[in-house]
Structure 1
Amino acid sequence: MSDDRRVAVTGTPGTGKTTVTTLLDGPVIHLNDLIREAGLWSERDEGRDSLVADLDAVREALGDWSGVVESHLAHHLDADRVVVLRCRPDVLESRLRERGADEAKAAENAESEALDVILSEAVDRHGLDNVYEIDTTDRPPADVAADIEAVIAGDRDPSAGDVDFTDHL
């Protein structure tokens, strides 16, 4: 990967971001860890049992970053390419429940996935020509990581809008 290329790997919680990015060549910034460890959050959302990231503080902490950043928030950063991992909502909801998410949180994330929330945000911020959608449903993490490596290398065309889960609404 070019030393100055910035690739954001994003997606609804449960799509496999952390799992697949650990298989990539080269360093990966796991943004959620950075936010938690460096105190880059402004408040705790008790209802969602999550931290509210201070994105300005995150940008400042990252500085002139390059490489790969992964998080459900990564598409809010400046990036050259944005990979949006997708997963069929019923499978996503099951994954989240297996991870210990309560029923309401798992259902909320599954609905967000069906509505293309993160994909829409990524396209709005980065444009269709810079967004790459990858379906992780029922795929081995190594295969998804290989798809991300192809995006990084420039061997895959932008693909926003290829995945459609609206039938799960």
Structure 2
Amino acid sequence: MRVAVTGTPGTGKTTATELLDTTLDVIHLNDLITDAGLTIGHDDDRGSAIADLDAVRARLDGRTDILVESHLAHRIPADRVVVLRCHPEELEQRLADRGESEASITENAESEALDVILSEAVDRHGLDSVYEIETTERAPEGVAAEIKSVIAGTREPAAGTVSYTDYL
């Protein structure tokens, strides 16, 4: 089984997946991309590397029993895709606390309000494979428990249950 845990930066992906007690091999995709040099350039506007997703897919090809965590994880073939969601106002605070630039904070909050990653995940994987989890007021342990229920197959797919249109 392949599980992707994705979401806008700041939604709690890394924190929750680090708390998981699972037999799946947890791969923090951003670390893999950096450590293996799986990039095709640099985005000067965002101040970040551009991931070579073809190289990432090739690196993961044939691997099963993995959980891939990243804001890019939904772009990797997976059986189940967990999309973590967080209200944009809370997201802004989390990203500010991490020292992100104002431009990055604004871009990510707007992306979250517009369901960008959720829409991409549903488009790539279909409604029957996407599991949306609200993280705004949840402890990381509760988010990890929800992810574990997705892995176990005891949680039904759900997408489009969270709305942040009030932010817009």
* TM-score normalised according to structure 2 size: 0.96
Counterpart position of 2:165: 166
Paired-residue identity, %: 67
Which letter does structure 2 place at the counterpart of 1:9?
A: V
Counterpart position of 1:118: 117
Which letter does structure 1 place at the counterpart of 2:16?
A: V
CA-based RMSD: 0.7
Q: What is the Cα deviation at residue 10 of structure 1?
A: 0.2
Separation in 1, partners of 2:154, 2:61: 28
Counterpart position of 1:95: 94
Which letter does structure 2 place at the counterpart of 1:120?
A: S
Aligned pairs, how many?
A: 165
Separation in 2, partners of 1:51, 1:64: 26
Counterpart position of 1:83: 82
Separation in 1, partners of 2:165, 2:131: 19
Question: What runs of 5+ residues in structure 2 fail to find an aligned partner?
Answer: none
2:136 equivalent to 1:140: no
Separation in 1, partners of 2:101, 2:73: 24
Q: What is the Cα deviation at residue 133 of structure 1?
A: 0.2
CA deviation map 1:49-74 (0-9, x unaligned): 11110000001111212220000000
Which letter does structure 2 place at the counterpart of 1:166?
A: T
CA deviation map 1:86-136 (0-9, x unaligned): 000000011001100011110110000000000000000000010000000
1:65 aligned counterpart, secondary structure: coil
Mean Cα displacement is larger for which, 158-167 or 58-67?
58-67
Question: What runs of 5+ residues in structure 1 fail to find an aligned partner?
Answer: none
Mean Cα displacement is larger for which, 59-68 or 119-128?
59-68
1:25 aligned counterpart, secondary structure: coil
Separation in 2, partners of 1:115, 1:108: 11
Trace 1:1-169 onto structure 2 (pairs within 5 A). Answer: 5-26=1-22, 27-66=25-64, 67-169=66-168
Which letter does structure 1 place at the counterpart of 2:35?
A: E
Separation in 2, partners of 1:160, 1:65: 26
Q: What is the Cα deviation at residue 46 of structure 1?
A: 1.6
Which letter does structure 2 place at the counterpart of 1:135?
A: E
Q: What is the Cα deviation at residue 77 of structure 1?
A: 0.7
* TM-score normalised according to structure 1 size: 0.96
Separation in 2, partners of 1:24, 1:161: 25
Structure 1 outlier segments of 4+, above 3 Å? none
Separation in 1, partners of 2:63, 2:140: 25
